[in-house]
Amino acid sequence: MRKVGLTIAAALALGSSAYAADIRMPVKAVAPPVVVSPWDFAFGASISSDYRFRGISQSNRHPSVAAYFEPRYNINDTLQLYVGVGGASISFPNRAAAEIDVYGGIRPTFGPVAFDFGVFGYLYPGGRCHYGAAVDTAGNALDLECLTNFIAPSGNVIKKDLDFFEVYGKVLWTVTDQWALGANYYYTPSYLNSGADGHYVSGTAKWTAPGALLPMGLGMYVSGEFGRQFLGTSDSFYGTGIVDPVSGLGPFPFGIDYKDYNTWNVGIGFTYKVFTLDLRYSGTDLKKGDCNAFTSDQTASFSGSFTPINPGGYGSKWCGDAFIAKFSADLVASQHLK
């Protein structure tokens, strides 16, 4: 009996020890993996003293407001797909209500070099037609409104529909934390639906101040761009102008061979969190007469700027030098909405 008792006691002791060991060494729970969504989006809004597009005012040298929304999908850390929609207030000769932008593309990155390829559509709803040929180059009848309206006193003409699109390729090389260099190319078969093809090429440079240079989280940068806009010949609509009563033709019955031009801008910007104040000088080398022929400016006045494509002497100030102030807010969800 004593031997049996010892055996039972030993068994109880062993069981008790095993139970105690279980209490002291619990199984550690495994944390679930962190799932990072491939989806992201950016959005922003701005107000500027003048909306300039490649050196030419789109808002009649008046203030403009704009906003955009851009969903993004990150395939991986170096490849992103995106689409976007935006809008801006404008003042066009055809009285379009606004500029609406729709775009999309792909952004591959290779180390410090980032590319961007896509398509950009420019829409101008609510436009009105101002004078022009009775038929287009294909022989199709035009809106009768085109035959009863003209822009006084210059006699400029413009279409109701100015919608067009561009395909583009861009590259940005981040040389250091402070320096970045870029190059851009855009192509359209019909700039502002004029029938004239367009090629735009430009180079950019940007210097960003070191973080310790300014106090209280402020940032600063200096940037600039130099570009050249190549333009083809418009369709016959823009070649009519004031019609010769004898021949029934305008001064350019086969269209206007628009003047190619250079454009540039340089400025300084200050940033704080999501806000940016950009102060910039912008200009082109277009003469007032060539600017008038290209823009159909509704505010054009006689300036004595006679050029081969602007024999009437009316000129536009939309392409002249300008100082522009712009205040904007831009957010990226993955960076600012955590």
Q: What is the pLDDT of residues 122-147, one digit of tens each?
A: 999 999 877 655 445 454 555 555 65
Task: Tell me whether residue 4 is in a domain.
Answer: no
Place of tokens 């068994």: 11
Q: Which of 13-17, 179-183, 326-330 has the lowest mean pLDDT?
A: 13-17
**What does the alpha-carbon distance between residue 316 and residue 293 come to, in Å, rounded to a whole number?**
9
Handedness of CA 189, 145, 98, 287 (dihedral sign): positive
Handedness of CA 127, 132, 137, 139 (dihedral sign): positive
**What does the alpha-carbon distance between residue 47 and residue 327 come to, in Å, rounded to a whole number?**
6
pLDDT for 7 beyond 90: no
Kindly report the CATH number assigned to the domain that includes residue 222: 2.40.160.40
pTM: 0.85
Question: Long-range contacts made by residues 241-244, C-beta under 8 angstroms, separation at least 24?
Answer: 241/155, 241/157, 241/312, 242/155, 242/312
Task: Tell me whether residue 13 is in a domain.
Answer: no
Q: What is the pLDDT of residues 190-228, one digit of tens each?
A: 999 999 999 999 999 999 999 878 888 899 999 999 999
Question: CB-side exposure of 9: number of CA atoms within 13 Å?
Answer: 6
Number of domains in the chain: 1
Mean pLDDT of the 289-308 span: 95
Predicted confidence band of residue 18 (pLDDT cuts 50, 70, 90)? very low
pLDDT for 232 beyond 90: yes
Q: What is the pLDDT of residues 80-116, one digit of tens each?
A: 999 999 999 999 999 999 999 999 999 999 999 999 9
**Domain region containing 295:** 39-336
pLDDT for 337 beyond 60: yes
Task: Tell me whether residue 33 is in a domain.
Answer: no
**Which amino acid appears at position 214 of this protein?**
L
Buried b (16+ CB within 10 A) or exposed e, 297-306: bbbbeebebe
Task: Tell me whether residue 20 is in a domain.
Answer: no
Task: Tell me whether residue 293 is in a domain.
Answer: yes
